């Protein structure tokens, strides 16, 4: 149960996101709308919608906002139709970058994202240029406390379908296949674990280290991408 740095990166990202809560709600609403448009409004049979609603609730998004987003997805309320795209590219020092995009204007978004990359030491690449470096995994982060026994947690998580449990100073990080995400989450909830983060995410197979100058540029690139209205998620392989 060795540690790794993904949670430290997530904590840094969450602190930025908490400062722009309204924008986060807007992005999650778009995610819910697209999930409904692609798979219907029944969350029991629409895995993507269930994940989007879970994300909304974990970010304390009001139920009224969730319902409005669902109704926009079904067409009961007027709303735009968004295209679901993945962009790939490179940051400073050759860092691999993947973006989940929801846009109503592909050409506009491509030009703006390309500009952000070039202005911040990177470049937008071709489809498939870095996606092979990532695996889609469920990630659940548990706060350490006296009630959580490391060995017991490992057994509980693995029995529920988790692949691995890693540990750092103040958290346990449980990874699983996306299909096992809900089963693992529900089992951990029932076991009394305090989940501080839960997401189906793109996890890098390997990470790269940057010098201080490149790291500062990379952080600026990531922040600018996350601030773009059409960017839902930013994934990198920075260690």
Q: Which two tokens stand for residue 130?
A: 């870095």
- What was the pLDDT predicted at 4? 44
The phi and psi torsions of 92 (rounded to 5 degrees) equal -60, 145
C-alpha triplet 225, 27, 41: angle, nearest 5°: 145
- 84-132+206-236: in CATH 3.30.420.40: no
For the chain, what are the domain ranges?
6-74, 84-132+206-236, 134-204
Whole-angstrom distance, CA of residue 50 vs CA of residue 47? 5
46/235 Cα distance (integer angstroms): 24
Burial state string for 128-164 with b = 16 or more CB within 10 A and e = fewer than 16: ebbbebbeebbbbbbeeeeebeeeebbebbeebbbee
Is 59 in a helix, a strand, or coil?
coil
Asked if 172 contacts 166 with a C-beta cutoff of 8 angstroms, the reply is yes
pLDDT of residue 12: 59
Q: In the CATH scheme, what architecture does the domain 134-204 have?
A: 2-Layer Sandwich (3.30)
Q: Model's pTM, two decimal places? A: 0.82
Could you give the CA distance from residue 184 to residue 178 in angstroms, rounded to a whole number? 10
Mean pLDDT, the chain, whole residue set: 89
CATH architecture of 6-74: Orthogonal Bundle (1.10)
Q: What was the pLDDT predicted at 7?
A: 60
Mean pLDDT for back-to-back runs of 10 residues, the chain (239 residues): 52 60 86 94 92 89 94 88 94 96 95 97 95 94 82 91 88 92 92 87 90 94 93 92
CB 7 within 8 A of CB 171: yes
Q: Residue 229 and residue 26: Cα distance in Å, rounded?
A: 8
Same topology between domain 84-132+206-236 and domain 134-204: yes
Helices (H), the chain: 6-18, 21-39, 47-58, 63-74, 106-119, 150-160, 181-190, 212-227
């Amino acid at each position: 149960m060795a540690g790794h740095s993904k949670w430290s990166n997530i904590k840094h990202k969450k602190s930025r996101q908490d400062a722009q809560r309204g924008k986060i709600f807007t992005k999650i609403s778009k995610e819910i709308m697209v999930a409904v448009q692609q798979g219907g409004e029944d969350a029991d049979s629409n895995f993507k919608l269930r994940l989007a609603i879970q994300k909304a609730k974990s970010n304390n998004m009001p139920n009224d906002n969730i319902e409005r987003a669902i109704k926009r997805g079904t067409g009961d309320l007027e709303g735009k139709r968004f295209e679901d795209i993945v962009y790939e590219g490179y940051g400073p020092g050759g860092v691999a970058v993947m973006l989940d995009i929801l846009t109503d204007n592909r050409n506009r978004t491509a030009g703006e994202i390309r500009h952000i990359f070039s202005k911040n030491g990177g470049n937008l690449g071709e489809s498939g240029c870095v996606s092979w470096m990532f695996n889609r995994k469920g990630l659940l982060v548990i706060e350490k406390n006296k009630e959580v026994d490391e060995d017991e947690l490992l057994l509980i998580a693995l029995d529920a379908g988790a692949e691995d449990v890693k540990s750092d100073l103040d958290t346990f990080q449980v990874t699983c296949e996306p299909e096992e995400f809900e089963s693992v989450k529900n089992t951990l909830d029932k076991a009394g674990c305090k989940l501080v983060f839960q997401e189906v995410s793109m996890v890098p197979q390997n990470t790269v280290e940057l010098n201080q100058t490149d790291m500062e540029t990379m952080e600026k690139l990531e922040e600018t991408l996350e601030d773009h209205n059409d960017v839902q998620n930013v994934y990198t392989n920075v260690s």
